[in-house]
Amino acid sequence: MTNRRIVATGTFDILHPGHLFYLEESKKLGDELFVIVARDANVKHKPHPIIPEDQRLAMVAALKPVDHAMLGDQTDMFKPIEKIHPDVITIGFNQMFDEERLRPQLTARNLFPEIIRIGKFADGELCSSRLVVQRIIAKRAHDCHHLE
Amino acid sequence: MTNRRIVATGTFDILHPGHLFYLEESKKLGDELFVIVARDANVKHKPHPIIPEDQRLAMVAALKPVDHAMLGDQTDMFKPIEKIHPDVITIGFNQMFDEERLRPQLTARNLFPEIIRIGKFADGELCSSRLVVQRIIAKRAHDCHHLE
């Protein structure tokens, strides 16, 4: 009997139910869920994280569906995936990875996981770090004046 | 053999390692950790929560040390505590409850839990929802201009 290993990835800047849904759905696909948390230095395709990487890691590691959480590699995102050797890699509904581009890079490293995109969490709540940030700025707008 | 029941309480607006430390330390004091999450309407002693109560509840319930999470009562904060009948009530290091004032109200309801204050999480991270909010406003200050 072998454990079915799942890898999920993300920045997880300000935790919300959308993250939780992604991780819970990922966990359902196997036995052991490994989560790779993006390094501060590697988040370049969206605003820099508010929360430092060690704190983002600690919070992800504390979530019930997560068996193992670790920071990503600074230079080679495939390095931890090679070590874990997952049966499945899951992609969040709004993550930019493209299966077509991911697949040949995995194959080149002798990795043949299923790649599964997790659907959107259907809920009207603040399921996006961006929306939380917007809400904070809108609700606490008076604080802005102190900065100017 | 009886389960030792712990009650922890809080708003848990934007989860951070300080919350996690409080809940982990609380859990260590017994077997079953019940967390009562403050209702939006009842948070009056500090700025109104950014995150709605259902979402705050969902995130607290997802944390590993938490066995049961529930929203508080809108009118009587002691109602859920009466139902749980805890052996211990824990207070976070920066919570305003005062054991001297809490004790007679518990006694009046025939409740005699230990009341234990959990220490401060000694870390330089963003262990306060207020600090996270400040960081967001500082980092994304340019967004403020759109509001004016």
Whole-complex ipTM: 0.87
Tally of CA atoms within 13 A in the half-sphere of A5 that contains its CB: 18
CA distance readout (Å), B44 to A119, B56, B96, B131 = 37, 16, 12, 19
Contact yes or no for A5/A31 (Cβ under 8 A): yes
Mean pLDDT of A12-32: 95
Q: Lowest mean pLDDT: which of A4-8, A41-45, B22-26?
A: A41-45
Contact A144 B147 (CB under 8 A): yes
Does B120 have pLDDT greater than 90?
no
Q: Looking at per-residue confidence, does A34 or A46 come out higher?
A: A34
Containing A5, the helix (H) or strand (E) segment is: strand A5-10
Residue A29, number of CB atoms within 10 A of its CB:
18
Does A2 have pLDDT greater than 80?
no
The full DSSP string for B45-105 is SSSPPSS-HHHHHHHHHTBTT-SEEEEPPSS-TTHHHHHH--SEEEE-TT----HHHHHHH
Q: Which chain B residue has the Cα nearest residue A24?
A: B62
Residue B91: closest CA among B2, B25, B17: B25
The dihedrals phi and psi of B66, each to the nearest 5 degrees, come to -90, 120
> What pLDDT is attached to residue B124?
61
Rounded to the nearest angstrom, the minimum Cα separation between B102 and chain A is 30
Residue B135: closest CA among A123, A77, A132: A132
> What pLDDT is attached to residue B7?
98
Does A16 have pLDDT greater than 70?
yes
Contact B138 A147 (CB under 8 A): yes
Token couple for A79:
């390095």
Interface of A with B (CB under 8 A): 14-17, 20, 47-48, 50-52, 54-55, 58-59, 62-65, 125-126, 132-141, 143-144, 147-148
Mean pLDDT of B16-40: 95
Does A35 have pLDDT greater than 80?
yes
Identify all chain B residues contacting A126, using CB atoms and an 8 Å cutoff: 50-52, 55
Residue B88: closest CA among B7, B18, B9: B7
Query: For an interface test with B, which of A25, A33, A128, A144 has the most B Cβ atoms less than 10 Å from its Cβ?
Result: A144
The count of CB pairs under 8 A between chains A and B is 95
Contact yes or no for A143/B136 (Cβ under 8 A): no
Residue B8, number of CB atoms within 10 A of its CB:
29
pLDDT in tens, A50-98: 899 999 999 999 999 999 999 999 999 899 999 999 999 999 887 777 7
Identify all chain A residues contacting B138, using CB atoms and an 8 Å cutoff: 147
Q: What is the mean pLDDT of chain B?
A: 87
> What pLDDT is attached to residue A125?
65
pLDDT band at B81 (very low <50, low <70, confident <90, very high): very high
Rounded to the nearest angstrom, the minimum Cα separation between B126 and chain A is 7
Query: For an interface test with B, which of A21, A68, A143 has the most B Cβ atoms less than 10 Å from its Cβ?
Result: A143
Cα dihedral sign, A50-A53-A56-A58: negative
Contact A14 B14 (CB under 8 A): yes
Q: Lowest mean pLDDT: which of A95-104, A139-148, B18-27, B73-82?
A: A139-148
Residue B129: closest CA among B49, B32, B25, B40: B49
In this prediction the pTM is 0.89
pLDDT band at A146 (very low <50, low <70, confident <90, very high): very low
Token couple for A104:
């040949």
Contact yes or no for B20/A58 (Cβ under 8 A): yes
Beta bridge partners of B85: none
The full DSSP string for A60-108 is HHTBTT-SEEEEPPSS-TTHHHHHH--SEEEE-TT----HHHHHHHHHH
Q: Which chain B residue has the Cα nearest residue A57?
A: B17
The proportion of chain B whose per-residue pLDDT surpasses 90, expressed as a percent, equals 61
pLDDT in tens, B35-61: 999 998 888 777 788 899 999 999 999
The proportion of chain A whose per-residue pLDDT surpasses 90, expressed as a percent, equals 60
Q: Which amino acid is at B103?
A: R
Q: Looking at per-residue confidence, does B12 or A134 come out higher?
A: B12
